[in-house]
């Protein structure tokens, strides 16, 4: 019996598993380095714990505090990253590959932390406004709210990114306020286990918010209900099987799928071998083939080039691939590591054989291929392999078969329409790259590609220095693709958080909607007090606190003075004749004067808790203000966000958005906007 340790699942707050089951081998030398555990997991208990304890501890927090927690978790993981790099070594990953997994994973936590702080409210109700007036008298409104689903998110992940793959799903579901159960791909589950141990040891994880399954999911999917969510990343065939689990269908459990995808890169016809873009193209394809030994869901599997560039691309690309040293990443100079396991190695070998039925080999497959490093002859290495399909329109081949390794197939196209048609033959992909220096080509090709791709990356010399590359999903942009790519959307800013929230339409009076959304809805009851709202600390304010100002009659002198002060002498304000011919039929005041005059009406001039006005949203000049019109403003506390911010001077503060309505003597709205302020919290002694 091997001495290799047994991994443990983290279920219902306990680490369980001591009896060895499946041996997990090092990709570098084939030795068993860990075992999965043999003990059966009680999924009834696991789900009950998540629903009870996980839900309770997450609901004791809110969107803002969970965002802060994500940031702290990210920091903790970075502080302890070296232990993760060390363990990742067995997976055959180079330091650069593991950087994507480890630091990319922590980066995703940071990204969701800052998106959450910026875009989500305090509390656990997200108002998807604006509220719509439904009744003629303004007493019946409708709007949407999103609240955390009352269930558990089950994440089933592929083996290729054991940490990032977990964290890119955990970040949005945690921010939303749902507990999760993570099941990593077994082959590299030792890396995920190490990351979960770190997260647990950090003391930052609310109890029950994250459970880990090593090994199989047993009857877990059969026990889910309509409040739960399943996300899956892996092969299209497993996705197809799991998404039709009868219990998931019967209970309408959302299933977000990310499956294998036959991504492509297109070299546009405008690029010649002498252009910088030609080299960029070759570099990008080679990089996508070799990073993570090509085990990336976004890797370029199909290399589409104009027919007259096939030879030039094949030559340059194979020369570049030949220079890639493959072997044990701890050996100096090694650029590409191993596939994650021998099973993967056998799988890639098989799929290359299938691809060779419709293509020829340009490079790779050498009988004398020998990876660098001691013991690597038993490792799961695979030589970078470039294929050429002379009949790109043929059925099957690279449009249908995924070799999940360092393999790509070059295909020639006749014109851009043909290129777009070939790209679509992947039946839906996560990403495609278009390498062009011609904006007209980009303008024509990208919208056509978009129908079949989750992301389109346009590369030329101008963007190349800053480009994050073809293969890198970014937290703020959509990651997911149509059709074969699974039809899901794992990332994409706050939209990914919404997969774990229930959207509900709410109808009622503006006062009721204000109470539910915690966001003042116009027409709702306001609270006017003796104390000016700008003199109230953050803690003393609430949505609906309001001030109706005194009035001011706009004079010609106002317009002239404002014109001179600002330098804005637009005819509508100064040319009597032209203004008469305009749609307003008279000279009108500058909109920005109305804005400034309104500030003059509602601002409290003395020192107070309002620290800064840092912006203005949703500004509309609704009706003109002419000479002789009399305006006034209503300022109402609309939305309050407590991000836990403290100034450099140590003063705690919160964000307050104020609704401003400027009206004229006929009570008609002339200007409408939100102003954004920072407001001090009541000092604590």
According to DSSP, residue 673 is labeled E
Alpha-carbon distance 442 to 567, whole Å?
A: 40
Return the residue of 34, 159, 281, 500 that touches ligand NAP, per CB under 6 A.
Answer: 159
Closest separation between CB of residue 282 and ligand NAP, Å? 23
Applying CB under 6 A, does 228 fall inside the site for ligand NAP?
Answer: no
* Both structure tokens of 208: 């029950």
Size, binding site for ligand NAP by CB under 6 A: 24
Residues, the chain = 685
Inter-CA distances, 652 with 497, 626, 681, 682, Å: 28, 43, 5, 8
Q: How far apart are CA 296 and CA 291, in angstroms?
A: 8
160, 173, 436, 546: residue in contact with ligand NAP (rule CB under 6 A): 160
Asked if 173 and 203 touch (Cβ cutoff 8 Å), the reply is no
Nearer to ligand NAP, 49 or 404 (CB): 404
235 scored as a contact of ligand NAP (CB under 6 A): yes
Among 58, 153, 259, 640, binds ligand NAP (CB under 6 A): 259
**Residues 393, 432: Cα–Cα separation, whole Å:** 19
- Are 453 and 459 spatial neighbours (Cβ–Cβ below 8 Å)? no
Position closest to ligand NAP via CB: 234
**Cβ 161 to ligand NAP, closest distance in Å?**
7
Q: Which is nearer to ligand NAP, 290 or 437 (CB)?
A: 290
Catalytic member of 103, 168, 193, 258: 258
Q: Which is nearer to ligand NAP, 259 or 680 (CB)?
A: 259
Restricted to residues 428-447, the positions that interact with ligand NAP (CB under 6 A) are: 430
Q: Where on the phi/psi map is residue 110: left (φ > 0), alpha (ψ -120 to 50), or beta?
A: alpha
Which lies closer to ligand NAP via its Cβ, residue 452 or residue 520?
Answer: 452
Question: Cβ of residue 293: shortest distance to ligand NAP, in angstroms?
Answer: 12
Q: In this chain, which stretch among 181-189, 606-614, 620-628, 650-658 interacts with ligand NAP, using CB under 6 A?
A: 181-189
CA distance 29 to 373: 10
* Closest distance to ligand NAP from the beta carbon of 438 (Å): 30
Q: Does the protein bind ligand NAP through residue 260 (CB under 6 A)?
A: yes
Footprint (CB under 6 A) of ligand NAP, residues 292-311: 297
Taking CB under 6 A as the binding criterion, the range among 44-52, 259-267, 556-564, 631-639 that sits at the site for ligand NAP is 259-267
Using rule CB under 6 A, residue 162 touches ligand NAP: no
CB 59 within 8 A of CB 148: yes
Q: How many CB atoms lie within 10 A of CB 294?
A: 25
CA distances from 422 to 141, 259, 425, 547, 639 (A): 49, 20, 5, 62, 50
182 binds ligand NAP (CB under 6 A): no
Instruction: List Cα–Cα distances, 586 to 16, 357, 566, 596, 680, in angstroms.
Output: 80, 78, 21, 21, 44
> Contact between 261 and ligand NAP (CB under 6 A)?
yes
At residue 585, the 3 state secondary structure works out as: coil
595 binds ligand NAP (CB under 6 A): no
Binding range to ligand NAP, per CB under 6 A, among 153-161, 192-200, 421-429, 663-671: 153-161
Contact with ligand NAP (CB under 6 A): which of 105, 185, 510, 544? 185
Interaxial angle between packed helices 63-79 and 164-176, expressed in degrees from 0 to 180 and rounded to the nearest 10: 160
The window from 23-31, 256-264, 412-420, 566-574 that contacts ligand NAP (CB under 6 A) reads: 256-264
Smallest gap from Cβ 183 to ligand NAP, in A, equals 6
Based on the shown chain and the rule CB under 6 A, indicate whether residue 351 belongs to the binding site for ligand NAP.
no
Q: Show the site string, 500-539: x = touches ligand NAP by CB under 6 A, - = not.
A: ----------------------------------------
Q: State both tokens at 477.
A: 């942009």
Q: Which of 77, 106, 156, 657 binds ligand NAP (CB under 6 A)?
A: 156
Q: How far is the CB of 94 from ligand NAP (least distance, A)?
A: 18
Does the protein bind ligand NAP through residue 214 (CB under 6 A)?
no
Complex with ligand NAP: residue 477 or 612, whichever CB lies closer? 477
- The owner of tokens 């589409």 is 304
Whether residue 533 contacts residue 520, with contact meaning beta carbons closer than 8 Å, is answered with: no
Q: Should residue 231 be labelled a site residue for ligand NAP when binding is judged by CB under 6 A?
A: no
Residue 181 or residue 579: which is nearer to ligand NAP going by CB? Answer: 181
Would you say 472 or 596 has its CB closer to ligand NAP?
472
Closest separation between CB of residue 310 and ligand NAP, Å?
Answer: 26
Told to check if 402 binds ligand NAP by CB under 6 A, we report yes
Closest listed residue to residue 474, CA positions, set 191, 126, 117, 110: 110
* Contact positions with ligand NAP (CB under 6 A) in 473-492: 485-486
Query: In Å, what is the CA distance from 294 to each residue of 301, 348, 490, 565, 616?
Result: 9, 10, 21, 62, 47
Decide if residue 69 touches ligand NAP (CB under 6 A).
Answer: no
For residue 52, give the DSSP letter. I
Catalytic residue (one of 69, 180, 264, 297)? 297
In the annotation, is 258 catalytic?
Answer: yes
Residue list 186-205, contact with ligand NAP (CB under 6 A)? 186
b/e 645-680 (16+ beta carbons within 10 angstroms → b): eeeeeeebbbbbbbbbbbbbeeeeebbbbbbbbbbb
Burial tier of 603 (Cβ tally within 10 Å: 0-12, 13-18, 19+): middle
Tokens of 670: 């002339």
In the bound state with ligand NAP, the residue whose beta carbon lies nearer, of 38 and 59, is 38
Which range touches ligand NAP (CB under 6 A), out of 100-108, 172-180, 228-236, 608-616?
228-236
Shortest Å distance, C-beta 598 to ligand NAP: 50
Q: For ligand NAP, which is the closer residue by CB, 116 or 473?
A: 473
- Please report the beta strands in 509-579, taking only residues with DSSP state E, as ranges in sequence order: 527-528, 545-548, 552-553
Residue 355 vs residues 396, 402, 420, 467: alpha-carbon distances, Å: 8, 9, 21, 31
Angstrom distances, CA of residue 360 to CA of 154, 294, 309, 373, 411:
42, 19, 17, 30, 11
Q: 389 pairs with which residues across the strands? A: 411
**217 is an interface residue for ligand NAP by CB under 6 A:** yes
Cα separation values, 419 from 264, 393, 423, 425, 517, Å: 10, 11, 6, 10, 49
* 234 binds ligand NAP per the rule CB under 6 A: yes
DSSP state of 56: H
Closer residue to ligand NAP, CB minimum distance, 150 or 235: 235
Question: Which value, in Å, is the radius of gyration of the alpha carbons in the chain?
Answer: 30
Interface positions, 361-400, toward ligand NAP (CB under 6 A)? none
The two most distant CA atoms of the chain are separated, in Å, by: 98
Instruction: Report the residue number, 257 or 609, with the smaller CB distance to ligand NAP.
Output: 257
Nearest distance from residue 666's CB to ligand NAP, in Å?
A: 58
Q: Within 13 Å and on the Cβ side, how many CA atoms surround 177?
A: 28
Q: Rounded to 5 degrees, what are φ and ψ at 644?
A: 70, 25
Among 138-146, 222-230, 231-239, 494-502, which window interacts with ligand NAP (CB under 6 A)? 231-239
Check residue 227 for interaction with ligand NAP (CB under 6 A).
no
Task: Tell me which residues touch ligand NAP (CB under 6 A).
Answer: 156-160, 183, 185-186, 217, 233-235, 238, 242, 258-261, 297, 402, 404, 430, 485-486
Residues designated catalytic: 258, 297
């Amino acid at each position: 019996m091997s001495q290799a340790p047994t991994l443990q699942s983290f279920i219902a707050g306990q680490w369980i598993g001591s009896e060895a089951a499946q041996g997990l081998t090092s990709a570098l030398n084939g030795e068993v380095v860990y075992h999965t555990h043999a003990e059966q997991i009680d999924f009834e208990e696991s789900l009950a714990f998540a629903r009870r304890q996980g839900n309770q501890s997450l609901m004791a927090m809110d969107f803002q505090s969970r965002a802060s927690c994500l940031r702290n978790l990210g920091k903790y993981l970075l502080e302890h990253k070296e232990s993760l790099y060390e363990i990742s070594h067995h997976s055959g990953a180079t330091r650069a590959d593991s950087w994507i997994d480890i630091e990319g994973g922590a980066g995703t936590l940071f990204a969701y932390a800052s998106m959450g702080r910026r875009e989500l409210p305090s509390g656990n109700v997200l108002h998807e406004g604006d509220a719509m007036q439904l009744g003629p008298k303004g007493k019946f409104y409708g709007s949407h709210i999103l609240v955390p689903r009352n269930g558990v998110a089950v994440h089933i992940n592929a083996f290729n990114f054991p940490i990032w793959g977990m964290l890119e799903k955990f970040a949005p579901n945690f921010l939303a306020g749902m507990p999760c159960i993570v099941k990593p791909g077994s082959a590299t589950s030792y890396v995920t286990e190490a990351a979960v141990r770190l997260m647990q040891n950090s003391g930052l994880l609310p109890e029950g918010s994250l459970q880990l399954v090593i090994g199989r999911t047993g009857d877990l999917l059969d026990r889910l209900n309509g409040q739960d969510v399943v996300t899956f990343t892996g092969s299209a065939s497993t996705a197809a099987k799991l998404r039709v689990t009868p219990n998931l269908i019967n209970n309408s459990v959302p299933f977000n799928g990310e499956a294998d995808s036959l991504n492509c890169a297109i070299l546009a016809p405008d690029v010649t071998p002498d252009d910088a873009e030609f080299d960029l193209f070759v570099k990008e394809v080679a990089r996508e083939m070799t990073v993570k030994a090509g085990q990336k869901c976004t890797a370029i599997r199909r290399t589409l080039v104009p027919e007259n560039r096939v030879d030039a691309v094949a030559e340059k690309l194979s020369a570049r691939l030949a220079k890639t040293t493959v072997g044990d990443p701890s050996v100096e100079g090694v650029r590409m590591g191993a596939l994650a396991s021998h099973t993967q190695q056998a799988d890639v070998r098989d799929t290359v054989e299938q691809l060779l039925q419709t293509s020829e080999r340009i490079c790779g497959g050498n009988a004398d291929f020998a990876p660098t490093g001691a013991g690597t002859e038993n490792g799961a290495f695979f030589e970078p392999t470039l294929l050429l399909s002379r009949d790109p329109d043929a059925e099957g081949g690279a449009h249908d078969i995924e070799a999940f390794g360092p393999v790509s197939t070059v295909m020639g196209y006749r014109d851009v329409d043909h290129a777009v048609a070939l790209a679509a033959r992947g039946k839906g992909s996560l990403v495609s790259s278009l390498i062009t220096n011609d904006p007209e080509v980009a303008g024509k090709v990208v919208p056509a590609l978009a129908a079949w791709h989750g992301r389109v990356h346009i590369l030329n010399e101008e963007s190349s220095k800053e480009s994050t590359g073809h293969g890198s999903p970014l937290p703020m942009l959509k990651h997911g693709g149509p059709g074969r790519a699974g039809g899901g959307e794992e990332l994409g800013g706050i939209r990914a958080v919404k997969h774990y929230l229930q959207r509900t339409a709410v109808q009622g009076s503006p006062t009721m909607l204000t109470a539910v959304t915690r966001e003042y809805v116009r027409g709702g009851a306001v609270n006017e007090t003796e104390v000016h709202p700008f003199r109230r600390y953050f803690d003393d304010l609430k949505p609906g606190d309001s001030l109706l100002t005194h009035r001011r009659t706009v004079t010609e002198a106002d317009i002239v003075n404002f014109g001179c002060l600002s330098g804005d002498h637009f005819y509508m304000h100064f040319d009597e004749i032209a203004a008469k011919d305009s749609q307003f039929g008279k000279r009108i005041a500058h909109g920005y004067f109305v804005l400034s005059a309104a500030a003059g009406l509602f601002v409290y001039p003395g020192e107070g808790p309002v620290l800064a006005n840092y912006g203005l949203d949703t500004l509309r000049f609704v009706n003109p203000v002419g000479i002789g019109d009399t305006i006034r403003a209503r300022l109402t506390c609309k939305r309050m966000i407590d991000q836990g911010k403290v100034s450099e001077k140590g003063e705690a503060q919160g964000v307050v958005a104020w609704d401003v309505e400027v009206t004229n003597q006929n009570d008609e709205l002339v200007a409408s906007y939100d102003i954004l302020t920072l407001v001090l919290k009541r000092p604590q002694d």
